[in-house]
Amino acid sequence: MAGNEALEQRSEQARSIAAVFSRLETQRRAWEQRTPLGVSEMRLLWVLQEPDEWTLRDIAEHLGLEQSTVNRQVNAAVAAGLVTKLRGDDQPTYQFRASDQGARMFESCAGQMLDRYQAALDELGDQGDLFVDLLDRFVDRLLADMDA
pLDDT in tens, 69-115: 999 999 999 999 999 999 877 888 899 999 999 999 999 999 988 99
pTM value is 0.73
Q: Phi/psi zone of residue 90: left (φ > 0), alpha (ψ -120 to 50 degrees), beta?
A: alpha
Alpha-carbon 95 to chain mean position: 22
- Per-residue pLDDT of 40-64, as tens digits, reads 899 999 999 887 889 999 999 999 9
Are the C-beta atoms of residues 121 and 131 closer than 8 Å to each other? yes
pLDDT of 52 reads 83
**Right CATH for 37-116 from 3.40.50.1100, 2.90.10.10, 1.10.150.120, 1.10.10.10:** 1.10.10.10
Q: Residue 1 above 60 pLDDT?
A: no
